[in-house]
Structure 1
């Protein structure tokens, strides 16, 4: 491409004239400029296409004459050395006119050159203290083909001023060519308006704006964005446009005329609805410009200057209100702004509850009756053949521009760092869809108006849910296990620390126990309790229950007696399988107990009455198991799942991850957690070996790592919070046999994926999601090794024969990127809650969305309502966004906060209570959450220790709050409900503890106290302070042990749980003091070595090895570059010397 030729006029001197204050929006634009002078914000570019020969000299003269006519075109701004910022008019500050000769370029080359010029010209910006703040560039593309780009800072003038200036410039230009003289219209200077403006008393609008913004804590959340990993695609601003068809445009105009509305009301209504749908909030706020010319100074409409003001518009989207009535309400709200429209935004922010530093809105809507080019072309003459297009960058994340005409012109401008181009294009389509819905259904209620285009609806409902997979229709857990026994009878099926059984041996024992269960009346649909520690005997019990036709109910031996008693009574189990030492600890119950002891012994022989050959096969629709989950009413609820669902889950897992007889699966999840179901049965139907961790071993990272190494484990599962603790253990990197690690139970943080890939580079991490009510997991996602693509870890796509839907409150599908509630459908949806028909009906609803998906989807099937917030990503994966209600997941356990609150309120010393899940400020990981109980005492003498002990008698340890905050009363909202947002942040201070502070006395105590402070986020730790009273829990204990080990202190988790004080743990770790001293000496030696100059070959670090092994197709991916702005007088010589010295 040849280099364009350029030439420009010399720049004139700039003598000063007079100064005056800034108008409302000018002050905001000055702030924008000072924050980022090269950002392109508030830079306006008017591109004029001129299909004519151009006399550049005469055109330059025309610009000079018009600039002399309007003060604002000769204005500069001052903010240093003055009491308040001001604008100063100069005698002469004509714009520079530059000519670029592009006549030698082809059309594509010329178009590329224009795009490059506009981008460069926009970021060039202006120095507001150095006029002129406008420039003109002429591009010659041919003798009769010119373009003129008029670039200026928006601080000079508003949109109504643009046509005035252009008309006068072309009038002067054409008069010069024709030899005539233009008699300019008399126009008042902009300073007259500013003088009027500065005399206004805005205190009278304070009450209006305080009332209007009451209850608004900040801006309406922006539509969800999906940022590309390509940095060039996530910088600058994007502009996207489309036209609305003529028919809906005419219908909208008729809607407005017939109901006394303006098109501006209709446009703002559509934007309000769009924001409400995307944010999930019915109360939305956006910015809108007010012309601010009426009732100011005479002749204001003809003045060139910056009159407009952008103010917050608050709209309540009322789904149950008829559209016309709602738009009328919006119209009245817009009219009420008239008397307060000049109020500076900084004052409105100061008066709002958001505060002066918090923006009230991040989006803006602008409506103009006609596009600028139409407005100017209507002048006729040569103007009719000229084209005009406006480009302008605002400081808002999202700006929508709508222009009237035969077809509504829709534009969306997005700040790519906040809203990616793909999301902006979808927003544009959604806005058009809202307009079309309003045009087609003017008598509908607001809630009936859809923003989802047909193609997008088809995609999210059906396209991404085509998961039909042919699996054997009559398969059950029993039939699949029987087939595997026949294939590999002598292979090892399961082992623990004491014994191992082959598939045939396991089958014989399970069959015998199943026969005994049948003799006790167990059959299809009968629930059987199982209470045992993790062992081979436990596996025999579970297999036996499903072989008997019954469904097993896991009862964790570590559960409190009250909870166990409730589960046994609620389930009504006629038979309970238990180990003898466990059965002696159980509360009183009516079940017949069959002991498991001896079943795993090598000398075991079946009893004569064990008629194993009489066992019938269960039906695919029979229940296989029932697991209790936390209940919001204070009672756990039992979720039943059929063979058909769990078989589908296991066959999909086998298709996807392909377990072989050479694989080893570690079973470490408590069997009261649904993940354990696949840990038990997946290897038993595929021939892999199942290794049972010791009881309590799942809490010990060091034990888990050594077990994996010893047994060459290839597949295991971790809750993300425990995975973090495991990876922090020094032994984790030695688990080189691991191939696939499944993570589920809580949100998987992206940084944890990065840590996993560093510690276990040869293993693959898989993020799975699913509730207990739907046969364990229903979505899956393989975590990539490319860290750049893991900004947020999605939960993935639906598994085979399963469908996922993200729906709004009306059970209608939402658009890509829009948050909604996650619903699950398909074969894995469970059978409901045991003895809870009302709750089952509430959570398992009719599936109305699968009719057109496949002929084999039965009518009347159910969807499970998860209560989870989620959104579709553009690639068809689902992203988890948290809980809709107050149900939370902590350490992988799903907890209904209401159950804990019920337990608290049952205590005689508690008058009122509320429980929340709290994360430390700055924490981003799910595992940082801790339960905090806010309690109001009845007698004024609260005892945290006594209350914690009382809760522990009826709740599992993971449901006992880590922190207790005593309040005189709970904060209430205006409707009388507890205002959770007003609860104070929990603080663990010295005075809240039950014992006096004793400072650390030894090196070990000092190290441990520092570790506790860092981990528990507390300001001070005494050697006698109780770990749990400081807010600790067992998971945080794992982190403390890992950090202590790094410091040379080896401590067992059992020691921490048994003696949870710094002094006791320091004594336990005393034997390691010598090792610590050795490490300190080594560290000092290393530090001394670093002070010496190093030369020669140095071995690569593990991370450097990883870089070389994982360069892939883009070896330059990890290169980094920095751009520094340095003062103009920086010496190159001295700078080069400084860099060389480093």
Structure 2
């Protein structure tokens, strides 16, 4: 429209239709306002990383229902399908408070009026709370009640978003399809039962920006309409199989809790539980951790092993320092399977200390000086080590009472008693040390009660680090950031996976381990390729405006663990980078 031009004058019939439509919608405005104020989106956990600025590529695939379900009335079939679909979404996303796009069912009162159609929202929010402990019939009643609400309130005027102050700031609500996932019911047949077809174009109006689940009320068939640039066709085929498996489970026993109904077809269940667990592989099961480290020393003694602030040690230097300390520990009586406590701030001395304990045959017992003193004393009392490697911070954290029964080796001393001892590798066989002896003892968090000690053998660590290096093709050119407390299991691979393949370890100073800006600076300064973060810290890192340029340019992998990795964090990462994000939660 050119500047100065006038809008066309409405005909009397159009004006009356618009006025009547607003009068019809007005009683439901508060209902929709409250629901829109609770706006939320749902993300599927198996999205592809889209090509930047790529237009949507809409495709469709269809599926049918079990024959027993086909015998039900159209209304019952529809309720079954919708309940099953919403249950499935709750199961795979972990979200039980669902809000999806819904195509309102017109009663024909405004039929034929284009002026009215453009003023009324074509997609509205469906809201459902899925209780996974309820049986299917109870959840079906919840869905039926929501259908009644949607019929009663129909839709809302599009300008509601602009008129309502609490909605204006929600940018997504200005989109034609605010919800990524939508559901619509039609009277057109979606497919022949059981058929799986893919066509290049989606037929009906879409109500989901990513995925629309279309149900035919007449025959119970259904169809997915999806953006293939973000959701692979093979995933919608899997969803069809899962949904059909769930429906078969419901028809077999509708009284079971919806959270326990089988989702997997037999073939996929066998693949996941049996085929993928055929993971037997050769690894150096007879070698101790430090023996594999020593092999890297012989291969590249001048290569940088560990860096802390402005200090660094080569593989040869780290080995020599650890050997001298190990000979001292052997002289102090350290033997295989004997726990040796170590309580230091993150430093070169910390790495020297844990390596020396292993070389002496002991099992390191990590104590984090940042932990409460009562927690540290509880661990010491339970594990009963006789020897402690510490710095000033470690001794202060433990307190004088805990030190009474411990022989303390000060790793900060300027004139260590072991400085002139041999730099040669202690001989494991002479110590009676094998890969079946303990490498470390680590304590659980105590979140479910008293912290419990977990004893881990050398061969277990070697198995894990060998798998990780092979699975992710990690190599000597990689640079690991070590930021996890030694008291957490993730620190094991941050340290040993790196040092057993000849890679470099960058130690993040303890006082900066939760400072995302410091982490970004170190990533950029040292060109880190392998990073471990808890999801909450990854989320904070992704909020930095310059994260794309300064933080991830050199990264090959980000490993996440320690917390649930939420779908929204994964979605943010996929928008930002093509680097691998690996979920290690729940080892």
TM-score tier (shorter): 0.5 to 0.7
Q: Against the structure 1 CA distance between its residues 547 and 345, is the aligned structure 2 distance closer, same or farther, given a 3 Å change threshold? A: same
Q: Against the structure 1 CA distance between its residues 194 and 310, is the aligned structure 2 distance closer, same or farther, given a 3 Å change threshold? A: farther
Structure with more contact order per residue of length (Cα contacts < 8 Å, sep ≥ 6)? 2
SS at match of 1:469: coil
- Structure 1: which 5+ runs fail to align? 1-33, 35-78, 90-190, 375-388, 701-716, 733-737, 759-763, 774-786, 798-803, 805-821, 825-1142
Q: Against the structure 1 CA distance between its residues 517 and 355, is the aligned structure 2 distance closer, same or farther, given a 3 Å change threshold? A: farther
Q: How does 1:1044-1123 map to 2 (within 5 A)?
A: none
**Residue aligning to 2:522:** 726
**Residue aligning to 1:958:** none
Which of residues 184, 190, 195 in structure 2 aligns to 1:366? Answer: 184
Which of residues 640, 645, 661 in structure 1 aligns to 2:460? Answer: 645
Distance (whole Å) between structure 2 residues aligned to residue 788 and residue 268 of structure 1: 29
**Residue aligning to 2:61:** 241
**Residue aligning to 1:823:** 586
Confirm or deny that 1:744 pairs with 2:557: no
Distance (whole Å) between structure 2 residues aligned to residue 600 and residue 561 of structure 1: 28
**Residue aligning to 2:128:** 315
Q: How does 1:263-274 map to 2 (within 5 A)?
A: 263-274=77-88
8 Å CA contact 2:481, 2:506 repeated in 1: yes
Distance (whole Å) between structure 2 residues aligned to residue 573 and residue 476 of structure 1: 21
**Residue aligning to 2:341:** 529
8 Å CA contact 2:213, 2:225 repeated in 1: yes
Confirm or deny that 1:587 pairs with 2:399: yes
SS at match of 1:330: helix
SS at match of 1:289: coil
Shift of 1:591: 2.8
**Residue aligning to 1:471:** 283
Shift of 1:515: 4.4
Distance (whole Å) between structure 2 residues aligned to residue 664 and residue 218 of structure 1: 43
Q: Against the structure 1 CA distance between its residues 488 and 465, is the aligned structure 2 distance closer, same or farther, given a 3 Å change threshold? A: same
Shift of 1:218: 0.4
Which of residues 326, 334, 343 in structure 2 aligns to 1:510? Answer: 326
**Residue aligning to 1:12:** none
8 Å CA contact 1:492, 1:502 repeated in 2: no
Distance (whole Å) between structure 2 residues aligned to residue 683 and residue 266 of structure 1: 52
Confirm or deny that 1:330 pairs with 2:143: yes
SS at match of 1:371: coil
Distance (whole Å) between structure 1 residues aligned to residue 23 and residue 582 of structure 2: 57
- Structure 2: which 5+ runs fail to align? 193-200, 564-572
Distance (whole Å) between structure 2 residues aligned to residue 199 and residue 664 of structure 1: 64
**Residue aligning to 1:340:** 153
SS at match of 1:269: helix
SS at match of 1:795: strand
Per-residue CA deviations over 1:670-709 (Å, capped at 9, x if unaligned) read 87366664576568767x598998xx97889xxxxxxxxx
Shift of 1:725: 1.0
8 Å CA contact 2:343, 2:366 repeated in 1: yes
Distance (whole Å) between structure 1 residues aligned to residue 503 and residue 161 of structure 2: 68
SS at match of 1:591: coil
TM-score, normalization: structure 1?
Answer: 0.38
8 Å CA contact 1:720, 1:744 repeated in 2: no
8 Å CA contact 2:63, 2:240 repeated in 1: no
Shift of 1:420: 6.3
Shift of 1:238: 0.9
Per-residue CA deviations over 1:804-850 (Å, capped at 9, x if unaligned) read 7xxxxxxxxxxxxxxxxx433xxxxxxxxxxxxxxxxxxxxxxxxxx
Q: Against the structure 1 CA distance between its residues 225 and 439, is the aligned structure 2 distance closer, same or farther, given a 3 Å change threshold? A: same
Shift of 1:254: 2.7
Q: How does 1:10-21 map to 2 (within 5 A)?
A: none
Shift of 1:217: 1.2
Shift of 1:556: 5.0
Distance (whole Å) between structure 1 residues aligned to residue 498 and residue 223 of structure 2: 56
SS at match of 2:132: coil
Q: Against the structure 1 CA distance between its residues 636 and 328, is the aligned structure 2 distance closer, same or farther, given a 3 Å change threshold? A: closer
Instruction: From the CA coordinates, give the structure whose radius of gyration is larger.
Output: 1
8 Å CA contact 1:515, 1:614 repeated in 2: no
Q: Against the structure 1 CA distance between its residues 569 and 350, is the aligned structure 2 distance closer, same or farther, given a 3 Å change threshold? A: farther
Distance (whole Å) between structure 1 residues aligned to residue 575 and residue 24 of structure 2: 53
Confirm or deny that 1:402 pairs with 2:225: no
**Residue aligning to 1:615:** 431
Shift of 1:755: 3.9
Distance (whole Å) between structure 2 residues aligned to residue 345 and residue 471 of structure 1: 63
Q: How does 1:806-845 map to 2 (within 5 A)?
A: 822-824=585-587
Q: How does 1:761-780 map to 2 (within 5 A)?
A: 765-769=555-559
Shift of 1:273: 2.6
Per-residue CA deviations over 1:860-913 (Å, capped at 9, x if unaligned) read xxxxxxxxxxxxxxxxxxxxxxxxxxxxxxxxxxxxxxxxxxxxxxxxxxxxxx
**Residue aligning to 1:254:** 71
Shift of 1:566: 5.4
8 Å CA contact 1:256, 1:266 repeated in 2: no
Q: How does 1:138-537 map to 2 (within 5 A)?
A: 194=17, 197-198=20-21, 200=23, 202-205=25-28, 213=35, 217-224=38-45, 226-227=47-48, 230=51, 234-236=54-56, 238-244=58-64, 248=66, 250-256=67-73, 261-286=75-100, 287-293=102-108, 311-341=124-154, 344=157, 359=173, 361-371=179-189, 391-394=203-206, 396-397=208-209, 398-403=211-216, 408-414=220-226, 426-428=238-240, 430-454=242-266, 456-457=268-269, 461=273, 467-477=279-289, 480=292, 506-507=322-323, 509-518=325-334, 524=337, 526-532=338-344
Confirm or deny that 1:552 pairs with 2:364: yes
Shift of 1:446: 2.6
Q: Against the structure 1 CA distance between its residues 355 and 255, is the aligned structure 2 distance closer, same or farther, given a 3 Å change threshold? A: farther
Distance (whole Å) between structure 2 residues aligned to residue 669 and residue 584 of structure 1: 22
**Residue aligning to 2:196:** none
8 Å CA contact 1:227, 1:419 repeated in 2: yes
Q: Against the structure 1 CA distance between its residues 719 and 654, is the aligned structure 2 distance closer, same or farther, given a 3 Å change threshold? A: farther
Per-residue CA deviations over 1:87-106 (Å, capped at 9, x if unaligned) read 688xxxxxxxxxxxxxxxxx
Confirm or deny that 1:577 pairs with 2:373: no
Q: Against the structure 1 CA distance between its residues 318 and 254, is the aligned structure 2 distance closer, same or farther, given a 3 Å change threshold? A: farther
SS at match of 1:573: coil
In terms of mean alpha carbon deviation, does 637-646 or 626-635 score higher?
626-635
Distance (whole Å) between structure 2 residues aligned to residue 437 and residue 416 of structure 1: 29
